[in-house]
Amino acid sequence: MSQPKAPHVASLDNYYCLGRSGLRVSPLCLGTMTFGTEWGWGSVESTARSIFNRYLDCGGNFIDTADGYTDGRSEELVGQFIQERGNRDQIVLATKYTFGVREGDPNAGGNHRKNMHRALDLSLKRMKTDYVDLYWMHTWDGVTPVEEVMRTFDEVVRAGKVRYIGFSDVPAWYLARAQTLAEQLGWERVAGLQLEYSLIERNIEREHVPAAVELGMGICPWSPLAGGLLTGKHQRHQFGEGRMRSVSEASHEVFGRYLNDHNWKIIERLAYWAQQLGKQPAQLALNWITQRPGVTSTIIGATKMAQLDANLQSLDFKMPEEAWKDLEALSRPSADFPYFFFLGKTRASVYNNVPVRPEAPWYRGELTFSSAQAD
């Protein structure tokens, strides 16, 4: 049976440079952790193929996977789908390494040189390609020296196996040290930063967002719908279909921390505004995050075509200011130490109560020329 025609998505093919690099990516990136059924809740091959093709047909160009997603099946399917379309050079293909893949082998996981080369070679083999456009370090392992990581990243770029590099799930101090080393030693700089970010998880705004903007890293939020909690299908005492049903216990290491009274208030307020505006809660949540400072491309996933179509249309409207301010205020992270020193009367006393701005308001504006000046 033929698939319905792809919906018009006005903004998906408005591309942005990833951080301080020249790599152009779509504002929504297709995450493929749901490709494959090995984990019990993903998509079968035919559905994954349809989702993959629909995203590209709508103008998207950014595909994200990882060596461990569905035990390697995600990479295999992504590589297969790219081969079927025959457009490898038009796709920005990203994958990751770090998590262990062989029980009992201490070197088959981690950030170190041996594991990076091992993981990268296997990823290239699974995806049937000789290079990846963006290679992420999936998470900080806590032991490998940052110098070793950055030098090895530089090696794989110079070898032609990787075009750009990025970090995922690392401390802010770590990414600052890594980028400074790269700048000083002439190594490949970090172009992207993949972090959890959503209306109910905004902690990166304290350190990571300012660091990314200052150091030239484009932020790619993962779990912008908080594991599905911001889709509108889950209620305070009743979980709908999806993986949240299996992680609805507060003791769950990753998603259990979402389940508190404050976050349910955000979820319920999001549902209110969605109803007022005739949108889906997920569309509002994605619209909000794609416009946050430092964000280049937001990672979305889907197990059904209807989910993908709805999420892609999150770019095609402007949220009213009243709704924006309401959600912003309700979800704003607290100003804990030392951040309260940078606010209000304390900050004003630093400037002797005289208004001071870091730069003139037009400083970062684009220069415009009339046709006569341009000639």
Catalytic residue list: 69
DSSP of 86-100: T-GGGSEEEEEE-S-
Q: How far apart are CA 30 and CA 247, in angstroms?
A: 23
Q: Which whole-number Å values give the CA distances from 46 to 71, 128, 272, in the listed order?
A: 18, 19, 35
Asked if 61 and 28 count as a contact pair (C-beta separation under 8 A), the reply is: no
Beta bridge partners of 222: 196
Question: Which amino acid is residue 297, in one-letter code?
Answer: S
Beta bridge partners of 219: 193, 295
How do 132-137 and 92-97 pair as beta strands?
Answer: parallel
192: helix, strand or coil: strand
Asked if 268 and 327 count as a contact pair (C-beta separation under 8 A), the reply is: no
Q: Where are the beta strands (DSSP E) in 169-303?
A: 190-196, 218-222, 298-300
Asked if 131 and 161 count as a contact pair (C-beta separation under 8 A), the reply is: yes
Tokens of 47: 């559905």
Question: Which amino acid is residue 7, in one-letter code?
Answer: P
Beta bridge partners of 220: 194
Question: Which amino acid is residue 325, in one-letter code?
Answer: K
- The owner of tokens 């794989």 is 156
